[in-house]
């Protein structure tokens, strides 16, 4: 059942001609989502069941990260930049992420955490503009795999 869900989701993302995201004047297609998933997949290649924090406001880019993480069989951990810094540090310490996708520079404390824990940090907007896409091949999903924390 899980496998069928991801296969259907991937099929819709790859083939739909409709709009995926509308926020005021920002309109993004499923084709843009697909392209961005493949760009982020290039960063996630050879990663499996790794904890990936999405430290962003809600945006088209954050949704691209969410789908790229889930479809590449990694673990999505949303952390709001609106949380107090000490709460954010605690969340980072508890989940021990392997990667952080962000839409802003990390505070000094968060940057120190990332460096100390060898956590890769990617600015989503820069990454999505500069990186070449890498084709995502949907793997087999097992019922006991973690997808979201």
pLDDT in tens, 70-91: 998 899 999 999 999 999 999 9
pLDDT in tens, 89-148: 999 999 999 999 999 999 999 999 999 999 999 999 999 987 777 777 777 777 777 776
Output b/e per residue, 126-145; b: 16+ Cβ within 10 A: ebbeebeeeebeeeebeeee
Helices and strands in the chain, H and E counts: 6, 6
In terms of phi and psi (left: phi > 0; alpha: psi -120 to 50; beta: otherwise), the region of 60 is alpha
pLDDT number for residue 88? 95
What does residue 104 show for φ and ψ, rounded to 5 degrees? Answer: -155, 160
pLDDT in tens, 2-11: 788 888 888 9
pLDDT number for residue 148? 65
Going by C-alpha positions, the residue among 23, 83, 32 that lies closest to residue 55 is: 83
Per the CB < 8 A criterion, the answer to whether 76 and 66 are in contact is: yes
pLDDT in tens, 10-58: 899 989 999 999 999 999 999 999 999 999 988 888 888 899 999 999 9
């Amino acid at each position: 059942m899980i496998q069928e869900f991801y296969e259907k989701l991937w099929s819709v993302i790859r083939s739909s001609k409709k709009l995926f995201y509308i926020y005021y004047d920002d309109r993004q297609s499923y084709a843009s989502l697909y392209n961005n998933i493949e760009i982020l997949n290039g960063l996630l290649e050879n990663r499996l069941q790794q904890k990936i924090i999405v430290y962003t406001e809600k945006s088209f880019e954050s949704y691209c990260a969410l789908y790229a993480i889930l479809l590449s069989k990694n673990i999505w951990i949303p952390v709001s930049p609106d949380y107090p810094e000490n709460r954010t540090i605690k969340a980072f310490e508890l989940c021990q992420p392997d990667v952080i996708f962000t839409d802003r520079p990390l505070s000094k404390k968060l940057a120190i955490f990332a460096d100390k824990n060898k956590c890769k940090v990617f600015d989503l907007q820069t990454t999505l503009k500069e990186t070449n896409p890498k084709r995502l091949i949907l793997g087999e999903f097992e019922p006991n795999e973690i997808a979201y924390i």
